[in-house]
Homo-oligomer: A and B are copies of this chain.
Amino acid sequence: MYSVCVRDYMMVAHSFKGEVFGPAQRLHGATFVVDVEFRRPELDPDGIVVDIGKATEVLKAILTGLNFRNLDEEPAFAGRNTTTEFLSRVVFDRMAAAIAKGELGAGARGIDHMRVTLHESHVAWAAFEAALSDG
């Protein structure tokens, strides 16, 4: 199994609902350093997993849709806690949709697994990974 991973980041505000979150129930924020790992069993004819240039551009576009925002006010997340693990899934789903639409190039359809990791500090991170149904 081959992998390629690209990294970018976003800076957002949010708050959480639920006693389990303690002081994080207050409005606060986070820098999320985001890694997206693309996986496939064989390389494409160019010898790559994915066009790393396109992957980087699409990741930036996805994060620009979240960056420098108060996620508490995003209609897409109404009624949800935008935890690090939840946001890992959001980035995963948006990247999977971009692959399906061909935004990472035709060769990217060979990607059959992804793992998205959001580093929230030097001591904690969360991730979501799954097979791609279109893979």
Contact = CB atoms under 8 A, between A and B. Distances in A.
Taken together, the copies of this chain in the complex come to 6
B68 A28 contact: yes
A102 to B, nearest CB: 14
Interface residues of A, number: 64
Contact of A70 (B4, B27, B128): B27
A75 interface: no
Nearest to A64: B23
Nearest to A80: B47
A31 B121 contact: yes
A3 to B, nearest CB: 4
B81 A47 contact: yes
Nearest to A6: B124
A23 B122 contact: no
Contact of A85 (B43, B51, B123): B43
Interface of A: 1-9, 11-14, 16, 18, 20-24, 26-33, 43, 46-49, 51-53, 56, 67-70, 80-86, 88-89, 105, 107, 117, 120-130
